[in-house]
Amino acid sequence: MMRKLLPGGLCALLLSVSLNGTAVARDAPLVLQRDGRTISLEPYAPNVLRVTLSVDRAAVVSSPGYGFEAKPSAQGWAHTRDAAGDDVFRSAKMVVRVASGDLTRDELPKRMPLDALNQQLREKYFGGWNDRGTFNDALRITNAEGKTLLRMRTWTMAPEQPEVAQADAGARGFRVAATFDSPADEHYFGLGQQQKGWMDLRDHEIRCWHDYSALGGENVCVPFMMSSLGYGLVWDNPSKTTIQLGLNDQNVWSSEVGDRVSYFVIAGNSADEIYEGYRLLTGVTHLLPRKAYGYIQSKAIYSTQAQIQAVADEYRRKNLPLGVMVVDFLNMTKQGNLDLDPTRWPDPAAMNRRLHAMGVDTLLSVWPHFSKESLFYDMLASKGWLVHTRDGVPDPGGFKAIIGPNIDTTNPAAAKWFWQEIRDRYIKPYGFDYVWLDETEPDIDPAKDVFWIGSGTRFYNVYPLFHTASVYEGFRRDFGNSRRVMILARAAYLGAQRNGTVFWSSDIFATWDMLKRSIPAGLNFTATGLPYWDTDIAGFFSPIIPADYHEAHRPLIDGSDARDTIGNYEDYPELFVRWFEWGVFQPVMRAHGERNHNEIWSYGKQAEPILAKYLKLRYQLLPYTYSVAYRSYRTGAPYMRALFMDFPDDPKVADIPDEYMYGPAFLVAPVTEQGATRRSVYLPAGCDWYNYWTNQRLHGGQTIEVDAPIDTLPLFVKAGSIVPLGQDDGSAQQAQRIVSVKVYPGADGGFTLFRDDGKSYGYEQGKYSLSELTWDDAAHQLKHQGAPAWSGPDSAVVTVIDGSGL
Nearest by Cα to 220 from 610, 484, 491: 491
Instruction: For residue 301, say if its preceding peptide bond is cis, omega within 30 degrees of 0.
Output: yes
For the chain, how big is the Rg over CA atoms in Å? 28
Strand arrangement of the beta sheet that strand 533-534 belongs to: 533-534, 501-504, 487-489, 434-437, 361-365, 324-327, 296-297, 590-591
Phi, psi of 613 (to 5 degrees): -60, -45
Sign of CA dihedral 75, 77, 79, 80: positive
Residue pair 531/497 in contact (Cβ under 8 Å)? The answer is: yes
Cβ-based neighbours of 426, under 8 Å, separated by 6 or more: 338, 340, 364, 366, 432, 435
> Pairing between strand 501-504 and 487-489?
parallel
DSSP 3-state of 482: coil
Specify the DSSP class assigned to residue 14.
H
Q: Calculate helix-pair angle for 412-422, 463-479, nearest 10 degrees.
A: 60
Give the catalytic positions in this structure: 438, 441, 507
Residue pair 134/175 in contact (Cβ under 8 Å)? The answer is: no
- Cα–chain center distance at 511: 23
Cβ-based neighbours of 112, under 8 Å, separated by 6 or more: none
Specify the DSSP class assigned to residue 351.
H
Q: Quick one: which H or E segment has residue 667?
A: strand 666-668
Instruction: Give CA–CA dist 84/97, Å, rounded.
Output: 11
Q: Quick one: which H or E segment has residue 635?
A: helix 622-635
> Pairing between strand 722-726 and 174-181?
unpaired
Angle CA 200–203–204, to nearest 5: 80
Residue pair 15/26 in contact (Cβ under 8 Å)? The answer is: yes
Instruction: Give CA–CA dist 659/715, Å, rounded.
Output: 10
Cβ-based neighbours of 616, under 8 Å, separated by 6 or more: 320, 321, 728
The residue length of the chain stands at: 806
Q: Which residues of 638-667 are buried (b: 16+ CB within 10 A; e: fewer)?
A: bbbbbbbbbbbebeebbbbbbbbbbbbbbb
Nearest by Cα to 657 from 669, 645, 646: 669
Q: Calculate helix-pair angle for 305-317, 348-357, nearest 10 degrees.
A: 10
Instruction: Give CA–CA dist 528/189, Å, rounded.
Output: 8
Instruction: Give CA–CA dist 436/601, Å, rounded.
Output: 25
In order, the DSSP letters of 700-759 are SSEEEEEE--TT---EEEETT-EEEEE-SSS--STTPPEEEEEE--SS-EEEEEEE--SS
In order, the DSSP letters of 250-266 are EEEEEEEEESSEEEEEE
Angle CA 435–440–445, to nearest 5: 160
Instruction: Give CA–CA dist 638/646, Å, rounded.
Output: 11
Instruction: Give CA–CA dist 86/75, Å, rounded.
Output: 22
